[in-house]
Amino acid sequence: MNKDFILRLTKYKRLLYKLKALGFERVFSNNLGDAIGVTPALVRKDFSTLSLPGNKRGGYNVDTLIEKLDKILGRDRAQHVVVVGCGRIGTALMEYSGFNTDGIEIVAGFDAHPENVHNTSGVPIYGMDKLNEYVQENDTKVAIIAVPDSEASKVLDRLIDAGIRGILNFAPVELKCTRNDCPGSTTIHNVNIALELEHLFYQVNSQEAEEEEKHATGEETGAHPDGNT
Amino acid sequence: MNKDFILRLTKYKRLLYKLKALGFERVFSNNLGDAIGVTPALVRKDFSTLSLPGNKRGGYNVDTLIEKLDKILGRDRAQHVVVVGCGRIGTALMEYSGFNTDGIEIVAGFDAHPENVHNTSGVPIYGMDKLNEYVQENDTKVAIIAVPDSEASKVLDRLIDAGIRGILNFAPVELKCTRNDCPGSTTIHNVNIALELEHLFYQVNSQEAEEEEKHATGEETGAHPDGNT
DNA sequence: AAGTTAATGTGAACTATCGCACATATATAG
DNA sequence: CTATATATGTGCGATAGTTCACATTAACTT
């Protein structure tokens, strides 16, 4: 399925929880659309493809949507995550408490030198040698990679061997599965902060260039700086 | 312009730097395509729309591509970033040195209580009252938000007032600009880790469901295409 | 109870994106 | 200098994703 589609689903779900907390019982496709920035038609189509039932006059029932979306998004199962690499970013994530409201829990950390980790999170931290055992015993499926880029590829391999199927990679390398047995069975998401920042710089620069051009359009000098648009 | 398109540009650029370091002088569209996971045709089309010149026989000149891409992506200007919120995530980002290779530099941190920040990064940390002054004096255009979600919206407002035009938001709220003066002029990227994890859980769950289904369907035929490791 | 209103559900039109395939141009060989 | 091999540049068709528009149906009104 499409990436954007799934992203919308999670956004719907989060919004619905907030609406429920506010006391909403019913919600309309244009409410949801406005809030997450899509057209009402797309909201309805999304729900339609998922067979999420709405009421022809009274919109959608918040509880029903939440229940079904939770099921679709797998919240009916335990959402346990392990963190590999307990440096600054790894420990920051372990300390971060915002996951709990979404049913996500970081259950363990792993590091090559667990004795050196300054851990104030309460999450147990083990040596890398315990990774395989832990993941298999606890049937963990999702992991965060927060190791230096030089280690990332090795760690990826070990995680896949251990049985991890979903990976969120913070190392500044574009990880992808190049093995024989993973196509289709393992999902990797790369969160490349440098890439995001570069993206922003591009946007900012091009917007500024656009505005300058717009300014210049007012004055008719006749000399076009550029031919094509 | 399209998000995926810009993302590809940054990937091209990064790859080209690596190739240059390896001594490459020329590169072909299929090399680039293979490496970043797209078809050669798309690479050529991308370069074509950017008027990046190639040589009909000898592919593309690495140096030329890098130079032009750097310009398009704004690397000819200073790529300075400030971090607002110096908690675990904020300080982790400030300590992270991987940005430098991309010409990105975190130049300052801001926090409501700078005296409480344990700072080992060498990046100066100021109180929030200094934000406006700093951003305007140094003409900073890009900021990272790493404050709790309850503060994120307020911080966003202050950043826009100060003149920030690109924002990378780590707070677990979907920030968007609801003001009158920002449409088109400010870009916000949300890095919602919880959302990413949920996305992963969905993928993992649906893949498992698929495999179970496949198992159930294939039980009759008995033709196991794969059952290794 | 019948009419009106207001939302959904969805087939069709539209749009943007991507891949194909071939014309085009250039470096190298003979 | 001519021929040939090779990689670009791009019009065109395929495809996926989104929006439109309206038929449909449930709640509210009188």
In this prediction, residues B94-105 reach a mean pLDDT of 85
Binned at pLDDT 50, 70 and 90, residue A20 comes out as very high
In this prediction, residues A42-51 reach a mean pLDDT of 96
Q: Which residues of B touch A95 (CB under 8 A)?
A: 88
How much is the pLDDT for B181?
55
Beta strands of A112-151 (E only): which ranges? 125-127, 142-145
What top-level class would CATH report for the domain B3-72?
mainly alpha
DSSP B98-112: TTGGGTEEEEEEEES
**CATH 3.40.50.720 occupies which residues in chain B?**
79-193
In this prediction, residues B53-76 reach a mean pLDDT of 92
In a 10 Å sphere around its CB, with 0-12 CB exposed, 13-18 middle and 19+ buried, how is residue B151 labelled? middle
Q: Rounded to whole angstroms, how far apart are CA atoms B156 and B159?
A: 5
B10/A219: higher pLDDT? B10
Q: For residue A83, report the phi and psi dihedrals to the nearest 5 degrees.
A: -110, 130
Binned at pLDDT 50, 70 and 90, residue A227 comes out as very low
Residue B227 confidence (pLDDT) above 60: no
Strands A125-127 and A60-61, sheet pairing: unpaired
Q: Rounded to whole angstroms, how far apart are CA atoms A72 and A93?
A: 26
Binned at pLDDT 50, 70 and 90, residue A62 comes out as very high
Chains A, B: CB pairs < 8 Å: 188
CB distance B167 to B145 below 8 Å: yes
SS3 content of chain A, % helix, strand, coil (to 5): 50, 15, 35
Q: Rounded to whole angstroms, how far apart are CA atoms A88 and B92?
A: 5
How much is the pLDDT for A226?
39
Q: For residue A83, what are the β-bridge partners? A: A109, A144
Cα–Cα nearest to A49, from A10, A14, A6: A6
Q: Which residues of B touch A89 (CB under 8 A)?
A: 89, 92, 96
How much is the pLDDT for A206?
78
Q: Is A167 on the interface with B (CB under 8 A)?
A: yes
Q: Is A93 on the interface with B (CB under 8 A)?
A: yes
Residue A49 confidence (pLDDT) above 70: yes
Residue A89 confidence (pLDDT) above 60: yes
Q: Rounded to whole angstroms, how far apart are CA atoms A154 and A175?
A: 11
Q: Is B37 left (phi over 0), alpha (psi -120 to 50) or beta?
A: left
Q: Is B199 on the interface with A (CB under 8 A)?
A: yes
Binned at pLDDT 50, 70 and 90, residue B224 comes out as very low
Burial A49-71 (b: 16+ CB within 10 A, else e): eeebebeeeebbbbeebbebbee
SS3 content of chain B, % helix, strand, coil (to 5): 50, 15, 35
B42 touches strand C (CB under 7 A): yes
Residue B91 confidence (pLDDT) above 70: yes
Residue A228 confidence (pLDDT) above 50: no
Q: pLDDT > 70: what percent of chain B?
A: 87
Q: Rounded to whole angstroms, how far apart are CA atoms A64 and A50?
A: 13
**CATH 1.10.10.10 occupies which residues in chain B?**
3-72
What Cα–Cα distance (Å) separates residue B192 from each residue in A10, A172, B172?
A: 11, 17, 5
Protein CA A41 to sugar C1' D30 (Å): 33
What pLDDT digit, counting tens, does each position of B114-159 carry? 999 998 889 999 999 999 999 999 999 999 999 999 999 999 999 9
Torsion over CA: A216, A220, A225, A227 (sign): positive
B142–A204 C-beta distance less than 8 A: yes
What pLDDT digit, counting tens, does each position of A149-204 carry? 999 999 999 999 999 999 999 998 888 776 655 556 788 999 999 989 998 988 88
Q: Rounded to whole angstroms, how far apart are CA atoms B180 and B157?
A: 12
CB distance B205 to A210 below 8 Å: no
Residue A229 confidence (pLDDT) above 60: no
Q: State whether CATH 3.40.50.720 applies to domain B79-193.
A: yes
Binned at pLDDT 50, 70 and 90, residue A221 comes out as very low
How much is the pLDDT for A64?
96
Say whether B6 sits in a helix, a strand or coil: helix
Q: Rounded to whole angstroms, how far apart are CA atoms B57 and A72?
A: 51
Residue B70 CB coordination number (10 Å)? 16
Residue B182 confidence (pLDDT) above 60: no
A45 touches strand D (CB under 7 A): yes
How much is the pLDDT for B209?
67
B55 touches strand D (CB under 7 A): yes
Q: Which residues contact A173 (CB under 8 A, 6 or more apart)?
A: A149, A152, A153, A190
Cα–Cα nearest to B6, from B74, B59, B67, B57: B74
Residue B12 CB coordination number (10 Å)? 25
Residue B220 confidence (pLDDT) above 70: no
Of A79-88, A132-141, A166-175, the least confident:
A166-175
What pLDDT digit, counting tens, does each position of B15-26 carry? 999 999 999 999
Nucleotides in chain C near protein beta carbons (<7 Å): 5-11, 16-21, 24-28
Structure tokens given for B126: 């100021």
How much is the pLDDT for B42?
98
Distant-in-sequence contacts of B10-14, Cβ < 8 A, 24+ apart: B10/A195, B10/A198, B10/A199, B10/A202, B10/B73, B11/A174, B11/A195, B11/B36, B12/B36, B12/B43, B12/B46, B12/B65, B12/B69, B13/A198, B13/B66, B13/B69, B13/B70, B13/B73, B14/A195, B14/B102
Q: Which residues contact A77 (CB under 8 A, 6 or more apart)?
A: B201, B205
B100/B167: higher pLDDT? B167
Strands B26-27 and B60-61, sheet pairing: antiparallel
DSSP B152-206: HHHHHHHHHHHT--EEEE-SSS-----SSS-TTT-EEEE--HHHHHHHHHHHHHH
CB distance B189 to A196 below 8 Å: yes
Nucleotides in chain D near protein beta carbons (<7 Å): 5-11, 16-21, 24-28
Of A22-26, A70-74, A123-127, B221-225, the least confident:
B221-225
What pLDDT digit, counting tens, does each position of B197-219 carry? 998 988 888 777 666 655 665 55
Mean of pLDDT over chain B: 87
In this prediction, residues A131-146 reach a mean pLDDT of 96
Binned at pLDDT 50, 70 and 90, residue B191 comes out as very high
Q: Is B195 on the interface with A (CB under 8 A)?
A: yes
